[in-house]
Structure 1
C-alpha cells in the first residue's frame, strides 16, 4: 500500500512540474510577441505618420485625377510646374510647335523689309524725272521730262542712260527738244528712315526745233533748216526716299549750262521730281 502512495505522489509531482513548464513557455511566447510589437511601434514612430490620402504612387510627371500638376524641384512652394502645352495647341511655345509665333514672324519680316531698301550694288531700275529748266535771264529751256535706265555699280554709285523730251517757250517761239545723255549719282550716306542724300551730275546732247508763232515759220536761231543742236552740263544734289524695297522717289536741284550754235546760257536752274521702279 505504501508503494502505491509513493508512486501516486511521484506521478502528481511530475504532472505538476510539467504543467508549470508549459505556463512558463506560454509566458515567454507572449513576452516575445510583445517585444516585437514594441519594436515595430518604435520603427513607425521614427519613419513618421503616413500621408493622409496615401494611395498608390502616381507615375512620375503625371498629376493625380482632380489635382494640379505635381510639384517639381525648383518651383516655388505652393505652386506646381505646369507641363508644356502640346505642339499645335494654344499656348504652345515656339520650340514645341517648330515655328516662331506671329509677333516674332512679323518682326523678322519687317527687319528683312527694311534691310532690302536703299542703294545696293546690282540693283537695276527704270526711272522717270519730271521738271523744267530756267536760265538765269528768265528764259525757259526745253527740259521737261526724262526717262532713265539706272543701274548700281556699287552700294553708293549708280549710273544711268538718259533719254528725254522737252517743250519750252521763249518769247513768241515754241521749242521742242529731244535729247540723250548719261547721269551719275553718288550717295553720300544714310539720313535714316530710308532717306539718302546724293550728288548728281549729267551730260546730254539735244536736238531741237523752234517754231515762231508770230510769222508761222520755223526759226532755229541761226540754222537754215529750222533745227539746231546743243549740249548741256549740269550738277547738283537731292534726296532719294525708298517707299518700298523696289520703289523710290527723289527730289533734285541742278545747276548748269546750255551750249549751242544759238548761244550759251550759263547758270540754268533745273529742279525735278523723279520716281524709279527697280526690278530686283
Structure 2
C-alpha cells in the first residue's frame, strides 16, 4: 500500500512537472515567433528606407550595383569609360576625346589647304584676282578727228568668276603730213566672260567709257593748230564696246586680243564708227 502511494505521488509530481514544462515551451515558442515578426518588420522598414539609394543613377565609371568595386580605382575604373569616349558619350575622358578629334582636325585642315592651293593654281577668271594689264592697239580715226586712246594701262580686278572691272589710263597718237595729234585719257572698263572654250581660252564682252584731253601740233614749227577745231587743245569723251578672247598662259598670266567699235563726242563735234583693235597682257598678283 505504501508502495502504491509513493508511486501515485511520483506520477502526479511528474505530470505536474510535464505540464509546467509544456507551458514554458509554449511561452518560448510565442516569444520566438514574436521576435521573428519584429525582425521581419525591421527588415521591411530597412528595405523601404533603402529604395531611393538603390534607384539613384550610378555615377559615371562607378561599379554596377550588387558587384564589388574594383580594387584599383585608377586604370581599372577608367577602362569601362574607354568605349564611351570613342562613341562621344558622357563620361569620356577629355584626353581621349582630344586624341580622337586630332586626326579629323588635321584632315580638315589638309583638305582646306589643298582646296586653296587648287584655286590658286586654277587658270581662268576667278573672283578675287587682281592684276596689272597693258593693251597695245590703234584707232582708225584720221588726223583732224578726235582720236580716242588706243594704248592703255589698266588696274584690273575680278568681282566674280565672270566679271572684271578696271581703271584705265591711256594715250592715243595720230599723225599726218603736217600735224600730230596726241590725246590722253582716263576711264573705266568692264569685261564680262561668256563661258569657256576649253584649253584655258575664254571669250568675253568688253565695254569702256573715258574722258580725254587732246592736243594737235603742226609738223615742223611745233605750234598748235586747230586741225578741224577752233583751238589746238580740246576735251571730249569716248564710248566703245566690243569683244575678244583671253588665254591664260599660266595661273597668273593671261593674254588677250580684242576689237572695239565706238565713237568720240566733244564740243567740236562727234565721230562715230571708230575701230580699235588691240592686243593685251595681264599679270595677276594672286
> TM class, shorter-chain normalised?
0.5 to 0.7
CA displacement, residues 3-58 of structure 1 (integer Å, 9 cap, x when unaligned): xxxxxxxxxxxxxxxxxxxxxxxxxxxxxxxxxxxxxxxxxxxxxxxxxxxxxxxx
Deviations 1:210-257 (A, max 9, x none): 012266421244344x21111110000000000000000000000000
Alignment partner of 1:181 is 2:191: no
Structure-1 separation of matches of 2:233 and 2:145: 19
Unaligned runs of 5+ in 1: 1-107
- Partner Cα distance (1:113, 1:190) in 2: 17
Provide the rounded CA distance (Å) in 2 between the counterparts of 1:276 and 1:130: 12
Q: Flag structure 2 segments of 5+ consecutive residues without an equivalent.
A: 1-113
| Pairing 1:255–2:261 present | yes
Q: Work out the CA distance in 1 between the residues paired with 2:229 and 2:119.
A: 56
Question: Number of residues paired by the alignment?
Answer: 170
- Which of 258, 268, 272 in structure 1 is aligned with 2:274? 268
SS of match in other structure, 2:223: coil
- Aligned counterpart in structure 2 of residue 235 of structure 1, from 237, 241, 261: 241
Structure 1 residues 136 and 255 mapped into 2: Cα distance closer, same or farther (>3 Å)? farther
The residue number in structure 1 matching 2:156 is 150
C-alpha RMSD of matched pairs (Å): 2.6
The structure with the largest helix share of the pair is 2
SS in structure 2 at match of 1:141: coil
Q: Give, in whole Å, the separation in 2 of the partners of 1:130 and 1:196.
A: 20
- TM-score normalised by L of structure 1: 0.56
Q: Is the 8 A contact 2:135 2:152 kept in 1?
A: yes
The match for 1:244 is: 250
Query: 2:140 corresponds to which residue?
Result: 134
Deviates most, 259-268 or 159-168: 259-268
Aligned partner of residue 133 in structure 1, secondary structure: coil
* 1:55-85 deviation per Cα after TM superposition (whole angstroms, max 9, x unaligned): xxxxxxxxxxxxxxxxxxxxxxxxxxxxxxx
Matched, 1:222 2:219: no
1:135 Cα deviation after fit: 3.3
